[in-house]
Amino acid sequence: MKTDKISNEAQLDASGNLIHLLGLEGLSSEHINQILDTADSLLDEKGNLKKSKALDDMSVANLFFEPSTRTRNTFEIAAKRNRAKVINVDLDNSAIKKNEALLDTMLTLKAMQIDMFVIRHNQNGLPHHVAENVSGVSILNAGDGINAHPTQALLDVLTIRQIKKKFENLSVAIVGDIVHSRVAHSDIHALKTLGVKDIRLIAPAGLQHSPENCEIFNCFEDMDEGLKNVDVIMMLRLQKERMIAADIPNEQEYYKNYGLTNDRLKLASKDAIVMHPGPINRGVEIDSDVADGPQSVILKQVTNGIAIRMAVMQILAKNHRRQ
Ligand code: CP
pLDDT digits 0-9 by tens, 11-59: 999 999 999 999 999 999 999 999 999 999 999 999 899 999 999 999 9
Alpha carbon 131 to its chain centroid, in Å, reads: 19
Report CA(4)–ligand 1 centroid distance (Å).
23
Report CA(45)–ligand 1 centroid distance (Å).
26
Amino acid (one-letter) located at 139: I
Compute the C-alpha angle 67/69/74, nearest 5°.
125
Report CA(175)–ligand 1 centroid distance (Å).
17
Query: Which domains, and CATH codes, for the chain?
Result: 9-148+302-322 (3.40.50.1370), 150-300 (3.40.50.1370)
Instruction: Quote the mean pLDDT of the chain.
Output: 93
pLDDT digits 0-9 by tens, 120-130: 999 999 999 99
Report CA(77)–ligand 1 centroid distance (Å).
14
* Contact (CB, 8 A) for 151 and 140: yes
C-alpha span between 51 and 146 (Å, rounded): 33
Q: Which ligand 1 atom minimizes the distance to the CA of 149?
A: 3
Sign, CA dihedral 278-283-288-291, equals negative
The string of DSSP codes covering 164-206 is H--STT-EEEEES--TT-HHHHHHHHHHHHTT--EEEEE--GG
* Contact (CB, 8 A) for 54 and 313: yes
List the end-to-end C-alpha distance of the chain, in Å, as a whole number. 34
Report CA(300)–ligand 1 centroid distance (Å).
14
Regarding the beta carbon of 69 and ligand 1, being less than 6 Å apart is answered yes
Question: DSSP code of 284?
Answer: T
- Does residue 3 carry a pLDDT above 50? no
Q: Which ligand 1 atom minimizes the distance to the CA of 71?
A: 8
Regarding the beta carbon of 279 and ligand 1, being less than 6 Å apart is answered yes
